[in-house]
Structure 1
Amino acid sequence: MNSATPANDPLRHVGVITKLMDKQFRVPGTGFRFGLDGLIGLIPGAGDVTTFAVSCYLLTIMARNGASGYVMARMVLNVVLDMLIGAIPFVGDLFDFAFKANSRNLRLMQEHYVEGRHRGSAWKVILPVLLVLLLLMIGMVWLIYRVLSSLF
């Protein structure tokens, strides 16, 4: 008999929160599921911050319970992608309903524990992510420069 509860079984705890955030509700007559992530994300600004905080909490639990550097890098990439695209008005809201970063991360963690996949160094994920972030920062600086130079 398994007496594990979500509070003392980290993977199950993450599963419960992930279901609530990504797949709690179903559109009647379809197989499409969504959760609080998509709904809360509809609140401009505060919704994105709230769902990002929940995703970071889940990442913390997974890191404390033995996720490899490679798995953590992939999970962080999912959360950052969800945050960046989710912050775009309207498009980001649709993306939040479809992408389901927490479910992707839970699947990665289950594969890591159960199948023994995703071991090794995180650098093969981190370096491209850092390069993309650097390019985004350069693009933002360029865009701000162009806007300010056209105004003045």
Structure 2
Amino acid sequence: MEMELPLGNDPMAIRRRVEALEYVLERAVTVPGINRKVGLDAIVGLVPVAGDMIAAALGLYIVWEARKLGMPKWQIARMMANVGVDTALGAIPLAGDLFDFLYRSNSRNLKIILKHLDKHHPHTRIIEG
């Protein structure tokens, strides 16, 4: 199933892009044996330094999209802190890889964005059936 991402700056387009990126970063692949979903964030985090920087840049893209929604500065700061904690602790060899597997900063940031969208742009809600 192929899905095209919208290019606009309207809240619905931003919502779809952020949800898609969070999925790729946090839940794209199921690990056999333990039946746990992981994404690009945990996988590229296995590469020392460069992998963590790539994951941080992708996480900051989500924050940038949130900024375009006009979210309050305290929410943006909270999201930046999530990315910062994930990057700092994820950079620790071995223990950081386990931390990346468990701490999903992009999922946390998506929840913050969705809460904002549901309150300030309710027309972007998607009813799943």
- TM-score normalised over the length of structure 1: 0.69
Instruction: Report the residue type matching 1:18 in the other structure.
Output: E
Residue matched to 1:113: 117
Quote the Cα distance in structure 2 between the aligned partners of 1:61 and 1:102.
Answer: 12
Matched position secondary structure for 1:26: strand
Indicate the structure with greater helix content. 1
Q: Tell whether 2:27 aligns with 1:23.
A: yes
Query: Pairwise mapping of residues 63-82 of structure 1 onto structure 2 (< 5 A)?
Result: 63-82=67-86
Following superposition, the deviation at residue 31 of structure 1 comes to: 4.8
- TM-score normalised over the length of structure 2: 0.80
Residue matched to 1:7: 7
The equivalent position to 1:86 in structure 2, one of 90, 103, 117, is: 90
Quote the Cα distance in structure 2 between the aligned partners of 1:87 and 1:30.
Answer: 24
Instruction: Provide runs of 4+ in structure 1 moved above 6 Å.
Output: none
RMSD: 1.7
Identical amino acids, percent of aligned pairs: 35
Following superposition, the deviation at residue 33 of structure 1 comes to: 1.1
* C-alpha spacing 1:114/1:31, structure 2 compared with 1 (3 Å): farther
Quote the Cα distance in structure 2 between the aligned partners of 1:35 and 1:76.
Answer: 20
Quote the Cα distance in structure 2 between the aligned partners of 1:79 and 1:64.
Answer: 18
| Aligned residue-pair number | 113
Matched position secondary structure for 2:83: helix
The equivalent position to 2:63 in structure 1, one of 34, 42, 59, is: 59
